[in-house]
Chains A and B, each alone.
Chain A
Amino acid sequence: MTGVDRPSIRPGIRLQWEAVQNAYVLLYPEGMVKLNTSAAEILRRCNGMRSIDEIVEDLESAFKRDGLQTEIENFLQLARAQGWLSAAES
């Protein structure tokens, strides 16, 4: 994965706000993960349109923080290993 990749959530997997759990969750065949705030904020931006660099920029400006690049890249790597993101590099 590099900064120009445009990650997207894999078909068949759905990111959704669950009011009762007061959290975003990822839904997949016969399972579910409850996401913490940072995971949810990153995944919400993985729509196949934004590059990783743009996601970083967007989050840094939304949360008024610098230096999020490494954290975001690490999480995306984990998300890919979990099979939550499309396998195809764009």
Chain B
Amino acid sequence: MSAAVSTSPAVGPPLWLLLELTYRCPLQCVFCYNPIEFAKVENELTTEEWLRVLREARALGSVQLGLSGGEPLMREDVEAITDEAHRLGYYTNLITSGVGLSRERLSELQRAGLDHIQLSFQDSTRELNDFLSHTRTFELKRRCAEWIKEHGYQMVVNCVIHRLNIDHLDTIIDMAVRMGADYLELANTQYYSWAHLNREHLLPSREQLQRAEQTMLAWRERMKGKMKIFFVVPDYYQQRPKRCVNGWGTTLATIAPDGVALPCHTARMLPGMSFPSVRGSSMREIWFESEAFNRFRGYGWMKEPCASCEEREKDLGGCRCQAYLLAHDAAAADPVCSKSPHHGAVLAAVERAQETRVPEAPLIFRRRENSLTHS
């Protein structure tokens, strides 16, 4: 079969709609995946504009809805947005740090039809949680967990894992158990945006990762039938890339606070792309017709080694942002892949992570002045 002949699979519906309601966030997490230049993004969509996005996407078949940010609760219309989403038949997931939540607000969201809440933590200790997020939020998060339980929701706790907290995994899991979590997502940091800036501080060593996996497996066995534990390994320790959000333009549409539509939440960093806005186009035009959403669909865009690779249908060449960050070409193979000519960039970062040393450059917190300096 000639690599030049490529058939694009039919475009399905954007089943997952992720609304990043705002980039505002009281936390300053060093691994945040929001764009580094977030502070330059102004003109958040109005309530009425968000409601229009909801209606248009629902008509296309969107059904899983993520309300995220930034911290979505910084907006006062999360209740109104949830209410309309529920009426339209979405399954609504609120993805929050808990800052901005109160017992009353949670009751209001539940009345509006909120289906699910995912609460994030940074660490099991107050000191590191508050240090990593640069806020005093630990006690608030614990209270949020109680309210979520009290309202009868399943409790999904997310903790981003990296070099600075991975050795606390045992107590992180223990805390989730004591909070009554039904699901615990231990997501190793992936290196985009702020996490990429801070990579030298955050990428764990192989030994740390192996120890963490052992700890996690022991807890998984112990909590069988009571709590599900998901553990996402950092891409850098893999030999093969993962699909980008199940495939570029196949499942997910992210809408940024200013209405820019993205096939994945970090795609905004890709140079030379012109992403459509919901202010100028309908969701139908964006999903089916826009150049940006079609750019990396199917296989036609692939270069070697992807174009003739027997695994190309499995991973679709991996992540476009990782290709851009590590190979300086968004259409290259994801350098996580050992077949990539740029795989050395990943190996070098992994090698450095085995050293016991404190990086010279300071940690860069996700805050306004850093956003302006580093973009």
A27-B85 Cα distance, complex, nearest whole Å = 14
Decide yes or no: A29 and B93 within 8 Å by CB, A12-B115, A14-B115, A18-B63 being known contacts: yes
Closest to A32 in B: B64
B152 touches A11 (CB 8 A): yes
A25-B15 Cα distance, complex, nearest whole Å = 12
A8-20 interface mask toward B, CB cutoff 8 Å, 1 = contact, 0 = none?
Answer: 0001101010101
Contacts of B60 in A (CB 8 A): 20
B61 touches A31 (CB 8 A): no
Interface residues of B in 93-152 (CB under 8 A from A): 93, 115-116, 118, 152
A21-B63 Cα distance, complex, nearest whole Å = 10
B15 touches A32 (CB 8 A): yes
A20-B63 Cα distance, complex, nearest whole Å = 10
**Number of B interface residues in the complex (CB < 8 A):** 18
B13 interface hit (Cβ, 8 Å): yes
A27 touches B152 (CB 8 A): no
A18 touches B61 (CB 8 A): yes
A25 touches B63 (CB 8 A): yes
A66 interface hit (Cβ, 8 Å): no
Contacts of B66 in A (CB 8 A): 30
Closest to A34 in B: B15
Contacts of A21 in B (CB 8 A): 13, 61
Closest to B89 in A: A16
B63 touches A30 (CB 8 A): no
A29 touches B13 (CB 8 A): no
B153 touches A30 (CB 8 A): no
A11-B156 Cα distance, complex, nearest whole Å = 14
Closest to A20 in B: B61
Closest to B90 in A: A27
A27-B15 Cα distance, complex, nearest whole Å = 11
Closest to B60 in A: A20
B153 touches A31 (CB 8 A): no
Contacts of B64 in A (CB 8 A): 27, 30-32
Q: Which residues in A have some Cβ–Cβ distance to B below 8 Å?
A: 11-12, 14, 16, 18, 20-21, 25, 27-32
10 contacts between A and B (CB under 8 A): A12-B153, A16-B63, A18-B61, A20-B13, A20-B60, A27-B63, A27-B115, A29-B116, A29-B156, A30-B93
8 pairs of A and B residues whose beta carbons are closest in the complex: A20-B61, A27-B91, A29-B116, A12-B154, A20-B13, A29-B156, A30-B93, A32-B64
